[in-house]
Amino acid sequence: MTNLANAFGSKFMEQKDSLRIRSFKFGGHTFKVKVPLTIETEAMFERAKVVDEDKAEKYYQDMAKEFLDNRAKYENDPEVKYLENDVLIKDRSIRETTRNKVLTENRLVEAFKMLVPENKDFDMNTITYADIEELFPFSVQLELLDYINSTISPNYTATKGK
């Protein structure tokens, strides 16, 4: 125990993790979230910003397929530009879009890992984006992400209740 933890006693140490649990209601269900320590938050941010290049390439191939397979059809379209290793649609890079998709999935997985499962035997560190996608539509995923973020880090308005 640290000096500060010693100040609160052994009973505190037994229950300190429960102090980090907060909850929110969504869709008729109460979700519990474990508020991460600073070091855990930093590790989450580091994991979330790593782009799986193979996954991004797979997404790119899927998203760019129509334009790559039918280049002659789009060659004269002013909204479609072909670069050496990318396709731009209205000046938006498909490659960049797929990388952002991977980063968004990473953020969602990291946030969902903070949820406390009701089944105590389940390890949230084992979840993948495919697990989340199978259970929740994308719009619901984003709403849950907002709820998780506001639960672990409430803004001034929520704290003051105004």
**Per-residue buried b or exposed e for 86-108, using 16+ beta carbons within 10 Å of the residue's own CB:** ebbbeeebbbebbbebbbbbbbb
pLDDT the model gives residue 132: 98
14 is a domain residue: no
Query: pLDDT tens-digit profile of 28-59?
Result: 999 999 999 999 999 999 999 999 999 999 99
7 is a domain residue: no
Residue owning tokens 């619901």: 140
94 is a domain residue: yes
157 is a domain residue: no
pLDDT the model gives residue 7: 82
CA 162 – CA 160 distance, rounded (Å): 6
CA 109 – CA 131 distance, rounded (Å): 9
Query: pLDDT tens-digit profile of 8-33?
Result: 877 777 777 788 899 999 999 999 99
4 is a domain residue: no
Q: Give the structural domain span for 132.
A: 22-152
pLDDT the model gives residue 25: 96
Query: pLDDT tens-digit profile of 130-142?
Result: 999 999 999 999 9
Query: pLDDT tens-digit profile of 80-118?
Result: 999 999 999 999 999 999 999 999 999 999 999 999 999
Quick one: average pLDDT of 74-79? Answer: 94
Could you give the number of structural domains in the chain?
Answer: 1
110 is a domain residue: yes
